[in-house]
Structure 1
Amino acid sequence: MSGLEIERDGAILRLTLSNPERRNAITWPMYDGLSSVEALVAEDRGIRVVVLRGAGGKAFAAGTDIRQFADFTTGEQGVEYERRIAAVLTSLLRVRVPVVGVVQGPAVGAGLALAACCDLVVATPDAVFGAPVARTLGNTLPPLVIARLQQRLGAGRTMALLLTAGLMPSSEAAIAGFVTEVIEREDLDERVEQLLAVICANAPLTLASMKEFDRRILRDGAFVDGEDVLAEVYASRDFQAGVKAFLAHEDIEWEGR
């Protein structure tokens, strides 16, 4: 995928936004590549976790590549753009395995939206988050992104961030719960690998069920029907084997079935 590097590394699918000369600004081919991730993971049951980061270490993603807006002259073009982006973000939210975002430097605009669609976000102390379109482009964010930000940051912090067109440092994002952990750059890769190993060792269907409920709550509110997912998990071989292993004080290797 042009501008998006995709690597299968054992049970890990590694995604790298690679447009470093433009601070990993996201192009249409990169969006198309991100749209393919849901199907890749669905078809390969051996994938246990996805990790998303920016190339070069200077930025996660500095939003959509603004050159792609140069020929926008009508409102309908903007609506179609937001539909396209919403489809990408919705697809990422549907990825059945945990998605871990690794943020160095700015995650702004569409970069913030991608980070918000990750289940866990680790960041370096120099990372910043925001969507300062009110003082830059004069466009806006779609409801899906604002809802996800409210879910991850809280309604008050989200509106303050957007209305002031500010940038939130990783330390504040961690206090808000948006960032899971702030890690010094020299320790980042080692800590990320530790986190991925922990996730890979957990029961895949359990993690998938929690992700699905999180997605449904975002869409429908707290009172969602989840009995189909509950039935799948409790009927699984993993659950039956897990009970036996727990009672026998034995280790277990999860199958995801």
Structure 2
Amino acid sequence: MSVASVGDDRIVLDRIGPVFHMTLANPGRHNALTWRMYDEFAEAIELAAADPAVRVIVIRGQGGAFAAGTDITQFASFTTGEQGLQYEQHIAGILDKLLKLSIPVIAAVDGPAVGAGLAIAACSDVVIATESATFGVPIARTVGNCIPPAVMRRLHARMGHGRTMAMLLAASLLPAEEAQKAGFVYKVVAHDDFEDAVARLSNRMSQTAPVTVAALKEMDRRLQDDPAANGDDLLLRCYGSADFQEGVAAFTEHRTPQWKGH
């Protein structure tokens, strides 16, 4: 299924059990994101967040690419700096929705994850990639725009300051293996093993304790904003949850815990 759309550019959605798949699709443009795709992407995030049966999100691209940024043809209508600022603020709001999800988000990257595609991958919790994946924001030699502070801060945290700035200032692309060495990519796998690897990872994440996962994600968000952030409320929430009681009981009884999410 897909969010309502009338063109080739769309976000294709599919839920397989507890795993919610979001596929970026813009044939012939390496899945470059159009305004409509951004809106559908935001709607898809809201759909997933509202469905208690969804335990993991997998974001991927169609046809051998993740996403080649924003569809640049749309920028032809920009005549003022204010229009660019409004665009960046709109995209920042969508990425913030992605970051604030309480469930794990996996970016399954095959081919280029460039510009906005890289931003989406950076705002996911885990990136798994094929050997042909590449990552970058080559705007200094292409469009001549800029990225907002939130995206740069996220890239600094995920890739390291030195590597991020070298990539941005040289307008270069990182191959998958280098992105893995930087810590941005969790695992690089061969094309033939990619689908199985994504399925294994998403299935494993779908079996984890929802309260714990939500707390871990919130702790990560806080620490990226403030290394001295307090997490006492998150610890209280976990230790005071029914899932904690269930986890202890299941461990002592040598059985698989039945998580309730509260």
Q: Same fold (TM over 0.5)?
A: yes
Which region of structure 1 is more displaced relative to structure 2, 30-39 or 104-113?
Answer: 30-39
1:244 aligns with 2:249: yes
Residue 119 (structure 1) aligns with: 125
1:16 aligns with 2:23: yes
Residue 230 (structure 2) aligns with: 225
Give the counterpart letter for 1:111 in structure 2: G
Residue 55 (structure 2) aligns with: 48
- Matched position secondary structure for 1:20: coil
Could you tell me which runs of 5 or more consecutive residues in structure 2 were left unpaired when the two chains were aligned.
none
Deviations 1:1-32 (A, max 9, x none): 23101122210110000102110000111111
Which region of structure 1 is more displaced relative to structure 2, 246-255 or 8-17?
Answer: 246-255
Q: 1:81 aligns with which of 87, 90, 108?
A: 87
- Aligned mates of 2:236, 2:43 — CA distance in 1: 28
Give the counterpart letter for 2:32 in structure 1: A
1:25 aligns with 2:32: yes
Give the counterpart letter for 1:226 in structure 2: G
Measured after TM superposition, the shift of residue 40 of structure 1 is 2.0
Residue 138 (structure 1) aligns with: 144
- Matched position secondary structure for 1:36: helix
1:214 aligns with 2:240: no
Measured after TM superposition, the shift of residue 41 of structure 1 is 2.8
Q: How is 1:167-178 mapped onto 2 (pairs within 5 angstroms)? A: 167-178=173-184
Deviations 1:191-249 (A, max 9, x none): 1111111101111111111111111222x311113233222222211111101111222
Residue 70 (structure 2) aligns with: 64
- Aligned mates of 2:214, 2:40 — CA distance in 1: 22
- Matched position secondary structure for 1:26: coil
Contact 2:246 2:258 in 1 (8 A): no
- Aligned mates of 1:45, 1:228 — CA distance in 2: 22
- Aligned mates of 1:208, 1:188 — CA distance in 2: 27
Give the counterpart letter for 1:166 in structure 2: S
Deviations 1:126-157 (A, max 9, x none): 11000000000110110011000001001111
Which region of structure 1 is more displaced relative to structure 2, 30-39 or 74-83?
Answer: 30-39
- Matched position secondary structure for 1:178: coil
Measured after TM superposition, the shift of residue 103 of structure 1 is 0.6
Q: How many residues align?
A: 255
Structure 1 length normalisation: TM-score? 0.96
Cα 1:155–1:131 change in 2 (3 A) is same
- Aligned mates of 1:164, 1:235 — CA distance in 2: 50
Could you tell me which runs of 5 or more consecutive residues in structure 1 were left unpaired when the two chains were aligned.
none
